[in-house]
Structure 1
Amino acid sequence: MQELHRIIQEIMPGCKLWFLDGKNDEGKTVANPNIGYGLHTIHYADGKIKEFYQIGLSANTTGISVYILSIKDKAYLAETYGKTIGKASVTGYCIKFKALKDININVLEAAIRDGFEAK
């Protein structure tokens, strides 16, 4: 996680940091704690606007998840990086892997850059 944090900070120095404990407004645990990077504005059909991070990191007992939330096309990550990233599961907005040694870090960095560049 520390190495991923360093890499993301190198890609986007000074980006907004988010530290989420995984709890909802009622204090119930609904997700693993995670760290977010950057700022992504979500516009809902009902006119509501929510700010959230562009890139997120979460660790759990099965490994590490990197969330790339600012890419609109749900198939893009899997189609673009799925075959070259290594031993990882690539779905919609998430890249999951057990350890950095299992993946091609250059491919992951490219996916993260795409996430920061997407609007």
Structure 2
Amino acid sequence: MTIPEQIEAYLTSQPQAKRTDLRALHALMLQAIPGGKLWFEDGKNSEGKVVSNPSIGYGTRTTTYADGKTKEYYQAGLSANTSGISVYILGIADKAYLAETYGKTLGKATVTGYCIKFKKLADIDVEVLEAAVKDGVGMTGEN
């Protein structure tokens, strides 16, 4: 299955209300990171054991580890979870930045160093979320 097919299967597998929100967020992410690489992580490790929720990724960033090895991964991600939806913005060095910059204006969301979690799309200001994604992606200098 291609990545777009995996993403479609994942979106289709969600309950109707969450599916609608995820589709709207998927469109937002595609707009916020135009031309960015698409990723799909099924949440399973190399042995096939579920270790995380599946996620859709957007854009590309390179992480360099202390030993000098590098790994390519996505810049921003989207995932359904048991209590709602998580949007990940990776690569921001200042772990307080998202919460300090967007936490008060985002709406009913929990904001951590790289994750914005909310129950449903109607609980947040979508324009503020889009600004946070664009801002975070811009900080990495990649796409």
TM-score (norm 2): 0.81
RMSD: 0.8
More strand by share: 1
Q: By how many angstroms is 1:43 displaced?
A: 0.4
More helix by share: 2
Counterpart mapping for 1:1-119 below 5 A: 1-119=22-140
**Number of residue-to-residue matches in the alignment:** 119
Q: Which runs of 5+ in 1 are unaligned?
A: none
Q: Secondary structure at the match of 2:105?
A: coil
Q: Secondary structure at the match of 1:84?
A: helix
TM-score (norm 1): 0.97
Q: Deviations over 1:44-67 (max 9, x none)?
A: 111110111000000022000000
Q: Which runs of 5+ in 2 are unaligned?
A: 1-21
Q: By how many angstroms is 1:37 displaced?
A: 0.3
Q: By how many angstroms is 1:104 displaced?
A: 0.8
Matches of 1:97 and 1:52, distance apart in 2: 23
- Work out the percentage of aligned pairs sharing the same amino acid: 67
